[in-house]
């Protein structure tokens, strides 16, 4: 082997090692008002901050100035009666006008995606989540493609993260209790058989960073009205084969071990309630925020 080849292999090995080491667990705290940002002032260590683009411009600027990894999303949990991806369709049917919201045409969607990405440019975030539709995996893939095309049209200062809507598939998949003659083999009749190609489609578009979304379920007992729908064991299994960079809504004290095991980033909207004032039994003798960061 020639010396230059040895040097090349050594350099390649070093770069590969650095890339592997650079990906590690990172807790992300979701905020949408100034009080939450102030609550993070005494927290030490590495963490990121996520905020919706719809929040106050002054707050977005203050988050940027903190120097932490800064994430912006489009706010997928908005009022579906006036969702950004819909337009009012009017049709004269059976002697009367019928008006109903439908998926907007491609031209309108491109304009809205472009407007969103351009607004994100104003605040110099590190990462931006591509727009998606909660509970709609295939429509979200369609929007992810449009978003990537608009993202690539010019140089931008942030990385675009693709959001794969996996929750609707995992929670609503129905399997036959007793196989019949025309049934698929077990491997092909499972959520994984649908989601694995879906995730690959995002990679093929060009996304280097992928987030698993749609994993929150309605729950009136939770402060935010939502809860993470997977058990620790189910999340471990999902991360083992899906290999994402981010789990939306996945950050929790009970899931830290699994998140660290798979070196993924995860955010929480419930972190405000990790406080003795709200749950003295769990948090009376611990600093949960610092515990998460380590």
SS3 of residue 207 by DSSP? coil
Which CATH code fits 27-79+105-177+185-293?
A: 3.20.20.380
Provide the residue ranges of all domains of the chain, joining segments of one domain with +.
27-79+105-177+185-293
Confidence (pLDDT) at 5: 41
- The distance between the two most distant Cα atoms of the chain, rounded to a whole number of Å, is 84
Confidence (pLDDT) at 12: 37
Distance CA 54, CA 115 (A): 12
Strand partners, 127: 71, 159
Distances (CA, A) of 190 to 164, 196, 245: 17, 10, 23
Confidence (pLDDT) at 79: 56
CB 265 within 8 A of CB 48: yes
SS3 of residue 253 by DSSP? helix
CB 224 within 8 A of CB 272: no
Distances (CA, A) of 187 to 137, 165, 190, 191, 194: 20, 20, 6, 9, 10
CB 290 within 8 A of CB 273: no
Residue by residue, pLDDT tens for the chain (294 residues) are 434 444 433 433 343 343 344 679 999 999 999 999 998 988 889 999 999 999 999 999 999 999 999 999 997 545 556 788 888 888 877 878 888 888 899 999 999 999 999 999 999 999 999 999 989 999 999 999 999 999 999 999 999 999 999 999 999 987 655 555 554 455 567 899 999 999 999 999 999 999 999 999 988 887 778 889 999 999 999 999 999 999 999 999 999 999 999 999 999 988 887 877 778 888 788 888 888 997
- Closest to 139 measured CA to CA, from 129, 131, 127: 131
Confidence (pLDDT) at 225: 80
Q: What is the pTM of this model?
A: 0.84
Confidence (pLDDT) at 51: 96
Confidence (pLDDT) at 8: 35
Confidence (pLDDT) at 92: 77
């Amino acid at each position: 082997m020639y010396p230059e080849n040895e040097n090349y292999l050594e350099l390649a090995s070093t770069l590969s090692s650095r890339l592997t080491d650079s990906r590690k667990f990172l807790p992300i705290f979701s905020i949408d008002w100034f009080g939450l940002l102030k609550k993070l002032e005494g927290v030490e260590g590495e963490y990121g901050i996520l905020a919706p683009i719809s929040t106050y411009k002054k707050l977005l600027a203050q988050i940027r100035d903190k120097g932490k990894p800064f994430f912006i999303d489009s706010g997928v949990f908005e009022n579906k009666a006036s969702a950004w991806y819909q337009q009012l369709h009017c049709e004269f049917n059976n002697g009367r006008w019928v008006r109903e919201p439908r998926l907007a045409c491609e031209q309108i969607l491109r304009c809205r995606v472009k407007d969103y990405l351009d607004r994100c440019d104003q605040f110099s975030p590190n990462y931006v989540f591509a727009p998606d539709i909660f509970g709609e995996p295939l429509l979200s893939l369609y929007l992810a493609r449009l978003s990537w095309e608009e993202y690539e049209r010019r140089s931008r200062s942030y990385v675009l993260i693709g959001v794969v809507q996996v929750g609707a598939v995992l929670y609503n998949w129905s399997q036959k209790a007793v196989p019949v003659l025309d049934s698929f083999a077990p491997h092909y009749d499972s959520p994984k058989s649908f989601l694995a190609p879906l995730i690959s489609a995002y990679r093929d578009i060009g996304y280097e960073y992928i987030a698993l979304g749609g994993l929150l379920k309605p729950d009136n007992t939770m402060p935010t009205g939502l809860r993470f729908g997977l058990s620790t064991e189910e999340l471990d299994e999902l991360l083992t084969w899906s290999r994402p960079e981010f789990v939306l809504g996945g950050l929790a004290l009970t899931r830290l071990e699994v998140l660290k095991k798979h070196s993924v980033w995860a955010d929480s909207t419930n972190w405000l309630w990790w406080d003795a004032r709200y749950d003295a039994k769990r948090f009376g003798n611990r600093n949960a925020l610092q515990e998460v960061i380590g």
